[in-house]
Amino acid sequence: MQKHVFIVYTNAVEGRDDAYNDWYDNQHLKDVLAIPGIVAAQRFALSDKQRLDPPYPWKYAAIYEIETDDLDSVIGPLKDWIGTDRMPRSDAMDQHREAYFFHPITERKTQ
């Protein structure tokens, strides 16, 4: 199986972080993990310390691990389900986001 990661950068609507995080953690992750081929998910918040100076465009990131030989079989449901009963959106999420699929080009290295 080919491995991929899907990295999604998002923000909450100003003042709605609690509602956004509740929806993402308790609803959206489960909905995305229902897509065959998506095998794991983890969310991240921007750390207080950064190498570069602000502004920082994204406060949150989600990394989804994918195992499939047919990436279209994952992309299709992501496009088709979002905004439906299978994958409802939250009005607490800012509609501007960036999302990209990556595949490994090296072996995983450790110390």
- What does the pLDDT look like over 21-65, one tens digit per residue? 999 999 999 999 999 999 999 999 999 999 999 999 999 999 999
**Residue-wise pLDDT tens digits, 4-27:** 999 999 999 999 999 999 999 999
3-102 is classed CATH 3.40.220.10: no
Q: With beta carbons less than 8 A apart as the criterion, state whether 10 and 74 touch.
A: no
Domain ranges of the chain: 3-102
Q: With beta carbons less than 8 A apart as the criterion, state whether 66 and 74 touch.
A: yes
**CA 97 – CA 12 distance, rounded (Å):** 10
Number of residues in the chain:
111
Residue type, 97: R
**CA 3 – CA 15 distance, rounded (Å):** 36
**Residue-wise pLDDT tens digits, 62-93:** 999 999 999 999 999 999 999 999 999 999 99
| pLDDT score, position 39 | 98
**CA 17 – CA 3 distance, rounded (Å):** 31
